[in-house]
Each structure stands twice: as C-alpha cells, then as structure tokens.
Amino acid sequence: MGLRPYVDHDRCVSSGACVLEFPQAFAYQQGQALAIVLPGADELTEEQLREAASLCPVEAIRLFDADGNDVTPES
Ligand code: SF4
C-alpha cells in the first residue's frame, strides 16, 4: 500500500461516514466519537482510500505518500 491514511482529530466532526463505509479501516476511538485508523486500513486499495477521504465532509481523512507528502485529493 502506497498511501497512509491519517485522521485529523482537530477536523473530525464524528459524521461516521468513514466508519460506516469502511469499518475494516476506520472506527471510533474508545470513549470518544472521533474516528481512528485501524490496522485493517492496510487492506484498502489506494482507490478505496481516496474514496474514504472524499467521503469525509470536513476533509479530516488525510492521505500521505511514502515520502510523507499530503496527497489527499481535493474535493
Ligand atoms: S468521515 Fe470524517 S468527520 Fe466523519 S467520522 Fe470519519 S474522519 Fe470523522
């Protein structure tokens, strides 16, 4: 997997879109309604990761390439 997802907790508004659509990759942090990335995110294709990022209404899901560049698609 070339892209690494990250959830920016300063942006996440707990809409649940990522958790509902890709439950293997995103879940709510225990005790909080902020999404976190699960190890299962490794199983998603780059296309699925881009889809997850585009689902987020507040662009909290950021995607980084192997060099650490933020390559999140603009919505
Ligand atoms: S889709 Fe975005 S705002 Fe909604 S829970 Fe996931 S990271 Fe948070």
* Residue of 6, 19, 49 with the most ligand 1 atoms within 8 Å of its CB, for mutation: 19
Dist. CA 51 → ligand 1 center (Å): 12
Residue 75 has pLDDT above 80, yes or no: no
Residue 63 CA to ligand 1 center (angstroms) comes to: 14
Where do the domains of the chain lie?
4-64
Summarised one tens digit per residue, pLDDT across range 14-61 is 999 999 999 999 999 988 899 999 999 999 999 999 999 999 999 999
pLDDT in tens, 55-67: 999 999 999 999 9
CATH architecture of 4-64: 2-Layer Sandwich (3.30)
Whole-prediction pTM: 0.93
What's residue 13's pLDDT? 97
Question: Is residue 73 within 8 Å of 65, Cβ to Cβ?
Answer: no
